[in-house]
A and B are shown apart, each in its own frame.
Chain A
Amino acid sequence: MGLLMMVLGAAIGAFLDPNPASGQGAISGLFIAIIIWAIQSLFAFAGGDQVILRMANAREVRSEEDKELYNIIEELSIASGLPMPKIYIINTPAMNAFATGMNPKKSVVAITKGLRSRLNRQEIQAVMAHEMSHIHNRDVRYMTFASIMLGTIVIISEILLRSFIWGGGNRRSSDNKGGGAAQIIILAVVILLAILAPILARMFYFSLSRKREYLADAISVSFTRDPISLANALEKISGDNTLFDPGKMTAAMCINKPRLKEHKENLASTHPPIQKRIAILRAMSMGTDYDTYMKVYASVIGKNDLPKGKKKK
C-alpha cells in the first residue's frame, strides 16, 4: 500500500513537467516525492518520541506511585518478550490509552486518568496488552510512515493544483501548439488525479489503521489469553464522550478512536467500530489465541483481509 502511495505521488509529480512525453518528468517527480517523504521521515524519527512530552498534562509514573499499573506492564513485558516501556499517565477524564515510540526500546505506553480509574485490573491489563501489541507490531513506525506518505501526496497534489491556478496550464498550451486534444486529455487526467489522489490516500491510510487495530486486538489476546476482559474494557470505553486529542499520529495508536474536537469529527475513522471489535472478542469461545482470533474475525467480518502479524515468538 505504501508503494501504491509513492507511485501515486510520483505520478502526480511527473505531470508537473512541461514535457510529460519525455519520461524525465516522471523520474524527477518520483525523486521529489521520495525526497519529501524521506525528509519528513527523518524529522519524525528524530522527534517522534517526544510527542508524549509535549502533552502538557502527561506525566511519567514511577513504580512506587502506581504499583499495580507498573506490575501489569511488567507482566506484559514478560508475556510479549518486549523491553519494559516507560509509563505515562495523562491527566484527563477521557477514557483512552496509547503507545508511542519508533522502536520497542524507546517505547512509551500512556493511559488517561479516566481510564485508569474506571477499569479493573484485568481490563487495564487487556487495554495495555493492546498497546503493547502496537509496539510488538511496530505499528508506531508503520503508521508514521504511512501518514507521512499521505502528507506527501497531499502536498504534491496541492502544488500541482496551485500551479494550474497560477498559469502553469497556460504555459503548457502555448509551448506545444500542435498538442490540441491530447494535451487537454492529459490536463484533465492530471487534474483528476490531483483531486482524487489525496482522497484515495486518505482512504488507504484509514483502512490500514483499522486493520492494525484488529491485529493489535489479536496479538493482545495471544499475550493475555483473556479476550473477555478486552471486550469488557472496550464496552466501558465505548460509553466515553470526553474530548481527547493526542495528535494525528498518535490517534492511530489509541485503544479506541479518540473523540476529537468537533471540526475534526467528520474525518474517516482510524479505528473500526468498537461494537464489531467487541463482537469478535465475545465470539472467541473455542480458544484464546491468535489463530482463533483470526478465524473469528473472518467469520464476523465476512472476509479474511488482515495483514499477517508476527506471532508471539
Chain B
Amino acid sequence: MTTTWIIIGIIALLIIWIIAIYNGMVKMRNKVDKEWRNIDVQLERRYSLIPNLVETVKGYATHEQETLKKVTEYRSAAMNAKSVADKANANSMLSSALSGLSVQLEAYPDLKANTNFLSLQEELASTENKISFSRSIYNEVVMQYNNKIQIFPNNIFAGMFSFKEKELFEMSSEQVKEVPKVSF
C-alpha cells in the first residue's frame, strides 16, 4: 500500500517538475517573440519612411538616381525576407546603402534646407538607433532562450515539445561594431 503511494508521489513530483520546465521554456519563448516584434515594428517603420525619402530627394539630387534605385531595391528585398537571418542580412545592406546616400547628400545644400527632408532624416536616424537598441536586447534574450532549451535536461523536453532554437538578428560585422550613429 505505502509503496504504491510513494510511487504515485514520485510520479506527481516528476510531472510538476516537467510542467515547471515546460512553463519556463514557454515564458522565455514568448519573451523572444515579444522582443522580435519590437524590432519588427521599427523595421516596418523604416520601410514606410524610405519611399518618402526617395521622393523628396529625387527632385534635388539628380545625380544620385543610382543610389536611390539601390536603396529602393534593398528595401523591397528586406521587406520580402522571411527568416530572421535573411531579414538581418537584407537590412544591413539597406543600412549601408542609406548611410552611403547620406554621405552623398551632403553635397546638396538645398536639400539640407528642406524641412521635410530634415524631419525625414531625423525619423530615419532615430528608427535606425531603435533598431540597433532593440536588436541588442533581442539577441541577448535569444541567447538566454537558446541556452535554456539546450541545457540538460531541458533539451529532452525541448525536443519533445518542439521548442526550436531561435536565430540571432546579426547585422554584418562592420554594422555590429558601429556605434549607433545619426547618419541614416
Partner of B133 from the list A79, A120, A228 (CB cut-off 8 Å) is A79
Find the residue from B38, B123, B133, B136 having the highest chain A CB count within 10 A.
B133
> Residue B181 at the A interface, CB < 8 A?
yes
Question: Whole-angstrom distance between the alpha carbons of A62 and B175 in the complex?
Answer: 32
What residues of chain B lie closer than 8 Å to A125, measured between beta carbons? 129
B125 touches A226 (CB 8 A): no
The closest CB in chain B to the CB of A72 belongs to B126
Q: Could you tell me which residues of chain A, from 259 to 313, have a CB within 8 Å of some CB in chain B?
A: 288, 313
> Residue A152 at the B interface, CB < 8 A?
no
Q: Could you tell me which residues of chain A, from 67 to 88, have a CB within 8 Å of some CB in chain B?
A: 67-68, 71-72, 74-76, 78-79, 81
Find the residue from A75, A225, A228, A229 having the highest chain B CB count within 10 A.
A75
Known: A121-B182, A225-B180, A288-B179. A67 touches B130 (CB 8 A): no
Q: Could you tell me which residues of chain A, from 217 to 273, have a CB within 8 Å of some CB in chain B?
A: 223-226, 228-229
Bin the interface of chain B by size: 10 to 19
> Residue A207 at the B interface, CB < 8 A?
no
Q: How many A-B residue pairs have CB under 8 A?
A: 46
| Nearest CB in chain A: distance from B134 CB, A | 5
> Residue A122 at the B interface, CB < 8 A?
yes
Partner of A74 from the list B38, B125, B130, B182 (CB cut-off 8 Å) is B130
For the residues of B in contact with A, the DSSP-based class is helix
B137 touches A81 (CB 8 A): yes
B180 touches A78 (CB 8 A): no
Q: Could you tell me which residues of chain A, from 32 to 88, have a CB within 8 Å of some CB in chain B?
A: 67-68, 71-72, 74-76, 78-79, 81
Contact mask for chain B residues 101-135; partner A; CB cutoff 8 A; 1 contact, 0 none: 00000000000000000010011011001100110
For the residues of A in contact with B, the DSSP-based class is helix
Question: Whole-angstrom distance between the alpha carbons of A68 and B125 in the complex?
Answer: 10
Question: Whole-angstrom distance between the alpha carbons of A58 and B37 in the complex?
Answer: 36
What residues of chain B lie closer than 8 Å to A74, measured between beta carbons? 126, 130
Question: Whole-angstrom distance between the alpha carbons of A72 and B182 in the complex?
Answer: 10
Partner of A121 from the list B125, B130, B136, B137 (CB cut-off 8 Å) is B125
> Residue B64 at the A interface, CB < 8 A?
no
Question: Whole-angstrom distance between the alpha carbons of A179 and B81 in the complex?
Answer: 89
> Residue B73 at the A interface, CB < 8 A?
no
A75 touches B129 (CB 8 A): yes
Question: Whole-angstrom distance between the alpha carbons of A75 and B129 in the complex?
Answer: 7
Known: A71-B126, A78-B133. A226 touches B119 (CB 8 A): no
Q: Could you tell me which residues of chain B, from 36 to 77, have a CB within 8 Å of some CB in chain A?
A: 38
Question: Whole-angstrom distance between the alpha carbons of A288 and B180 in the complex?
Answer: 12
| Nearest CB in chain A: distance from B97 CB, A | 21
Known: A68-B122, A71-B123, A313-B137. A78 touches B179 (CB 8 A): no
Contact mask for chain A residues 108-137; partner B; CB cutoff 8 A; 1 contact, 0 none: 000000000000111001000000000000
Known: A75-B130, A78-B38, A79-B133. A224 touches B179 (CB 8 A): yes
Q: Give me the interface of A with B, judged by CB distance under 8 Å.
A: 67-68, 71-72, 74-76, 78-79, 81, 120-122, 125, 223-226, 228-229, 288, 313
Q: Give me the interface of B with A, judged by CB distance under 8 Å.
A: 38, 119, 122-123, 125-126, 129-130, 133-134, 136-137, 140, 179-182
User: Would you list 21 pairs from A and B whose C-beta atoms are within 8 A, ordered by A residue?
Assistant: A68-B122, A68-B126, A71-B123, A71-B126, A71-B129, A74-B130, A75-B133, A76-B133, A78-B130, A78-B133, A78-B137, A79-B133, A79-B137, A122-B182, A224-B179, A224-B180, A225-B180, A226-B179, A226-B180, A228-B179, A229-B179
